Amino acid sequence: MISMASHEDLIEDNLLLPHEINNQRNRKVKATFLHKIKAFFVKNWKIILLLFVILLLISCTIIIPISILKDKTKNISSQCDEYGKKIVETALKGTEAYSRLATMCTLFGNRLSGTQALENTIDWIQEQMINDGLENVHTDNVSVTHWVRGNEYAHMTAPYYKKLNMLGLGGSISTGGINITAQVIVVNSFDELDQVQSQVPGKIVLFNAVFTNYSSTVQYRASGAVAAAKYGAVASLIRSVTPYSLGTPHTGGMYYQDGVKQIPAAALTLEDSDLIQGLVNFNKSVTIQLYMEAQTLPNAISRNVMGQITGSEYPDQVVVIGGHIDSWDVGQGAMDDGGGVMVSWEAVRLIKALGIKPKRTIRVVAWTNEENGAAGGQNYAALYKNETFFSIETDGGATTPLGFSVTSSSKTLSALSTIAEHVLKPIGSTSVTEGEVGTDNSFLVDQGVPGAQLVTNMTQYFWFHHSEGDAIDKMDPVQMDQCVGTMAAMALCIANFNGNLP
């Protein structure tokens, strides 16, 4: 028989204190939880294995290549990754490019070679570059074409009267102080002109060639007057070289040929060209009265203007970037090519403002006379070809940047592509392809110096090109900032190339 004390002791020995009860429960929960996990893995091992493989592939295709690309960029160009990303991040927060373009367009307007407006603009740029703290700011004199438009007009006088919107083509002669009134013959191509050559003498030829692309359609502007004059035409008109119109004619350069009589040349709007075509299609005789005072004066003196950040290790090797500061005598020359100049200038100013010292000199140039002679680009190449390491021109509108068109060795092209892919991804301007450069830096490239041009979205560029529509309201500050970041980062990475270009 158990005593009362022993019985109480036994009961006490078998009692579970609260913490002991909890511990038992925890052990049961843990065991149950581990069992469930094990069961889950056994049941779903195929899915889990598949997910693991997918994660492994992601790491191989994204994380590892990024690391490798970063190392490749470092091997190509010193501090390209670090500085390039800093430049892009800063540019995307906002730059002074649009503000300066708006100021220039407002204060000086359009800037045709030979005009005081162009020279006043160049003086202003030079002063502002000095204020920015750029080095070696100066101008070089350039002898440029001096063509003057004067008064001009065109009317359709039969089968009924209509005022025609027109612009004389750059380089055209005048109508000799008189109205030229003649019947119009409409053709759509040079081949068609050849087929009706017997009907041309004494008439005005209208080339109503619908825009396909610029290089194909611009031939009628450039040499239409020569083709028409060979068959005895008294004047040459063209459908403006543009795919879109709101009643705005587009001007541009034209040329004469030795031994062929010079005749006046002008551009009509798409609307007026189609109207005349329609009347002719209805067998109506169309008569136009044309008056032009255009003349080419003796050459004038203009200037290229430039400033730079001098390189810390190779100051005599220069990466030059720029656009052309002249424009036609209509609109404001904002898109063509004030925007290109401002983007290039702001790219150099931004690099300096960030305290970045490139290994090679980075120079911005605003070339003169691109529109009707390209003497600025020729003059620059003659003076600076031997020191030029690389050149980039932007003359396609400072809209959304897509990348670069490059003329260089295949190895240089590959290196630039690697840089763009790694540094310019936040902007999306990563395309680097073999292709043509700009007009102004082509004179360097033609002598064996590698170069490029900024490629932008030109979907609407020719809507406003060489017309009254080329004004500051067509420009987008955000897109210009993207161009600044693209130009500045690429210029810096090229300036910091490890060794010579491959």
Structure tokens at 322: 């720029």
d(CA 85, CA 352): 15
Q: What DSSP line would sit under 56-79, residue for residue? A: HHHIIIIIHHHHHHHHHHHHHBTT
Is 370 among the catalytic positions? yes
Cis peptide before 159 (omega within 30 of 0): yes
Measured N-to-C along each axis, helices 477-495 and 339-353 cross at an angle, to the nearest 10 degrees, of 60
d(CA 27, CA 461): 75
Place of tokens 């073999």: 434
Q: What DSSP line would sit under 90-136, residue for residue? A: HHTT--SHHHHHHHHHHHH----TT-HHHHHHHHHHHHHHHHTT-EE
d(CA 398, CA 334): 9
Which one is catalytic: 346, 370, 393, 468? 370
The residue among 250, 270, 184, 257 whose CA lies nearest residue 227 is 257
DSSP-derived 3-state class of residue 48: helix
- List 322's β-bridge partners, or say none: 365, 393
CA atoms within 13 A on the CB side of 39: 6
Measured N-to-C along each axis, helices 410-423 and 64-76 cross at an angle, to the nearest 10 degrees, of 130
Maximum C-alpha span of the chain: 146
d(CA 220, CA 190): 8
Structure tokens at 168: 């004389």
Structure tokens at 390: 């690389």
Residues designated catalytic: 370
